[in-house]
């Protein structure tokens, strides 16, 4: 039975150690999804590294956020990546809608058939032009998105391949895999941050500047170069309107 917006229940998996960024990320999904915080059940992977994939069945969708605190390439140090991958695989099998952003994208790529590498020389940190593929022209989320559009990016790792049975939807000049979907499923993964605005980015990267920049002036250079990314934020609402409320 079709649900109303205020009836949706979403499982949000966060991979954030500090409480300020946890609150910010939740508020971003709330704001751009036009939802209420009470509609989200949050699992923080650092606090709860082991959780059963079957609990995803209780929700209308699974959202996975980003992380400046972990890597998908070191599951021994971050064992929760297996728990998150288990949820994503369960959701794919049961056709539970998934919106995976940044770290969520990388888990989907690395643990569902693709590959993620560290590529710090080509790190994307700031706002970048995201180019859509021909397949995006007929996609339910992207068909009315300008090409290219500006999105917030913040990652040192990137995918070099994506899982079989997926369609590539977007890329950038230095990151060939920026968005994909599983064919015939309601599962979308975004390397860029559809939930993060330019203002959100500046605040967060200022907090994390020592993790990403080798020189103090790099932060000022990034701030001067960023551009509005409002088109990317529309993706959250489109996902809810066109995937969850149909």
Q: Which residues are known catalytic residues?
A: 102, 193, 195
Alpha-carbon span 143 to 139, nearest angstrom: 5
Closest CA to 49 of 19, 18, 87: 87
Alpha-carbon span 58 to 96, nearest angstrom: 10
Report the Cα 227 to chain-centroid distance in Å: 19
Alpha-carbon span 132 to 80, nearest angstrom: 32
Return the number of other C-beta atoms located less than 10 Å from residue 115's C-beta: 14
Alpha-carbon span 43 to 63, nearest angstrom: 10
Sequence-distant (6+) residues with CB within 8 A of 166 are 180, 181, 182, 183
Q: How far is CA 196 from CA 40, 121, 135, 141, in A?
A: 18, 23, 25, 17
């Amino acid at each position: 039975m079709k649900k109303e917006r205020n009836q949706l229940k979403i499982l949000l998996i966060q991979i954030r150690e500090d409480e300020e960024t946890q609150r910010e990320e939740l508020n971003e999904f709330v704001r751009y999804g036009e939802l209420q915080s009470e509609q989200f059940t949050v699992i923080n992977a650092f606090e709860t590294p082991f959780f059963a994939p079957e609990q995803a069945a209780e929700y209308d969708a699974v959202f996975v956020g980003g992380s400046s605190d972990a890597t998908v390439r070191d599951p021994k140090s971050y064992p929760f990546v297996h728990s998150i991958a288990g949820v994503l695989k369960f959701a794919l099998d049961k056709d539970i809608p998934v919106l995976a952003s940044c770290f969520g994208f990388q888990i989907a790529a690395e643990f569902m058939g693709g590959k993620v590498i560290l590529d710090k020389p080509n790190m994307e940190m700031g706002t970048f032009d995201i180019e859509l593929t021909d397949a995006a022209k007929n996609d339910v989320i992207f068909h009315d998105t300008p090409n290219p559009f500006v999105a917030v990016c913040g990652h040192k790792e990137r995918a070099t391949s994506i899982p079989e049975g997926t369609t590539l939807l977007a890329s950038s000049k230095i990151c060939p895999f920026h968005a994909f979907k599983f064919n015939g499923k309601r599962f979308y993964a975004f390397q860029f941050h559809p939930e993060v605005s330019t203002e959100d980015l500046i605040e967060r990267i200022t907090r994390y500047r020592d993790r990403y920049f080798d020189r103090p002036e790099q932060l000022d250079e990034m701030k001067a170069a960023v551009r509005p990314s409002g088109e990317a934020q529309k993706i959250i609402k489109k996902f809810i309107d066109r995937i969850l409320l149909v």
